[in-house]
Amino acid sequence: MSGLVIAVDGPAASGKGTIASRLAAHYGLPHLDTGLLYRAVGLSLLDQGVSLDDAQAAEAAARVLDVSGLSDNPRLIERGTGEAASRVAGHPGVRAALLKLQQDFAALPGGAVLDGRDIGTVIAPDAVAKLFVTATPHVRATRRWTQLTRRGEVIAFEDMLADIVRRDERDAGRGAAPMVQAEDAVLLDTTEMDIEAAFDAARRIVEAARAN
């Protein structure tokens, strides 16, 4: 692995995706939202009418995944797709199928920015800078609820909060690459921050890591 590799991990709606995207633009690096990969696998199973608990089918979908145009598919950011992603991500075969794709991205010449749940621990353990972005469940639920309702989705805030808590438990408790803060990752709590403050804090973390 060479160049400036930035690993941004954290739970759902913590702001990690926006921060990662802003860091990529700031440093002129390619960005991979690894969550979209798992969302695409989950969506594939939903479209096939296959159970999300079918580990074999989920792995098969991951192995033939077409990554082109993922960021342009509006269905990938729907609430149901996020729930599906969290469930299929618990299958070891799915994670194994997507491992090389993510590692190859992290090894691009010059570096890259990746965000997800296991970037700093599994995908890019030697990343120059590692951030673990978080916020309270209530704040994260508010952010996601606002995002979804603005797009026209109807969901009670209490259900959104329950979704966030359930996904946290599933992501942190799975046996395959659970969501944990890497020992050398810097914790960035965005609970009291707007995006500009969060990005500035993230940029300073990266600069400190580069200096060291």
User: Mind listing the pLDDT tens digit for each residue in 136-176?
Assistant: 999 999 999 999 999 898 999 999 999 999 989 988 888 87
**pLDDT score, position 175:** 81
Residue whose entry in the numeric block shows the structure tokens 């921060």: 19
Distance CA 212, CA 92 (A): 35
Alpha carbon distances (Å) from 83 to 154, 166, 170, 195, 201:
16, 9, 10, 25, 29
**Domains in the chain, ordered, with CATH?**
4-211 (3.40.50.300)
**pLDDT score, position 35:** 92
**pLDDT score, position 79:** 85
**pLDDT score, position 170:** 87
**Which three-class secondary structure string do you get for 3-56?**
CEEEEEECCCCCCHHHHHHHHHHHHCCCEEECHHHHHHHHHHHHHHCCCCCCHH
**pLDDT score, position 176:** 79
Indicate the pTM of the whole model. 0.90
**pLDDT score, position 177:** 82
Mean pLDDT per 10-residue interval, the chain, length 212 residues: 88 95 98 95 96 97 90 89 91 94 95 96 97 97 94 93 92 85 97 96 98 92
CA 41 to chain CA centroid, Å, is 14
**pLDDT score, position 67:** 84
**pLDDT score, position 78:** 87
